[in-house]
Amino acid sequence: MEHIFTLFLYAPLLLSLYIITKHFLRKLRNNPPAPFLTLPIIGHLYLLKKPLQRTLAKISNSHGSVLLLEFGSRKVLLVSSSSAAEECFTKNDTVFANRPRLMSGKILGYNFTSLVWCSYGDYWRNLRRITSVEIFSPHRLQMLHGIRVDEVKSMVKRINSFAMAEKCVDMKSVFFELMLNVMMRTIAGKSRNFFQQVCQISTLKLQCNSS
């Protein structure tokens, strides 16, 4: 009981020291201003509410167009003015070009070697050049034109069949299925039942998590 009382006694002191230290370190590093109280571990996550864009807009309107937030252990630069955004993406674009080193990038990105996850540099520029020439070139896109036309026609037929049966159509899932079918036919040459398989896997995953 005495140890618990001592912990509650020193907790406000430790929290105050943490806040003061963070404040002076931010000034020494010349970082953008940070609004509100930065809590240990969670940072500014306690400020986030839905809808997120309105919450961030309210923070920007109250505290300035360029702010430094902390979402857990990740620092997030909040930019809400066009002039500041232009400064970030034109004059200092290479500074913001790197991706965060997340565990998902290590596993899904083959140890950060894919185009999406690798760091900005010569390797990334070579991958972008190969992608532009071999995948997104006008000649390559024209070769895949028939796939897109075929899948769009198939989508229109499905929508028409729903309309003839006077059933509601969820356009979000229809366009998602169209995207998956085009992608799978481009990569693997076939797309039939791929959307249904994805739905079945998601359903089974939810059932396993609930059980």
Q: What is the pTM of this model?
A: 0.55
CA 136-179-207 angle, 5° bins: 135
CA atoms within 13 A on the CB side of 190: 3
Query: Helix 171-187 vs helix 194-210: angle between axes, to the nearest 10 degrees?
Result: 110
Judging by DSSP bridges, how do beta strands 74-79 and 66-71 pair with one another? antiparallel
The 3-class SS string of the chain reads CHHHHHHHHHHHHHHHHHHHHHHHHHHHCCCCCCCCCCECCCECHHHCCCCHHHHHHHHHHHHCCEEEEEECCEEEEEECCHHHHHHHHHHCCCCCCCCCCCHHHHHHCCCCCCCCCCCCCHHHHHHHHHHHHHCCCHHHHHHCHHHHHHHHHHHHHHHHHHHHCCCCCCHHHHHHHHHHHHHHHHHCCCCCCHHHHHHHHHHHHHHHHHC
User: Using 50, 70 and 90 to split pLDDT, how confident is the model at 17?
Assistant: low
**In the chain, what are the domain boundaries?**
2-103, 104-140, 144-210
pLDDT at 3 over 70: no
pLDDT in tens, 155-171: 999 899 988 888 888 88
pLDDT in tens, 19-71: 666 656 555 567 777 776 777 788 888 888 888 889 889 888 888 889 989 88
Query: Which residue has tokens 């185009």?
Result: 115
Buried b (16+ CB within 10 A) or exposed e, 159-195: eeeeeeeeeeeeeeebeebbebbbebbeeeeebeebb
At residue 157, the pLDDT reads: 92
Residue 127's contacts (CB-CB under 8 Å, 6 or more residues apart) are 114, 115, 118
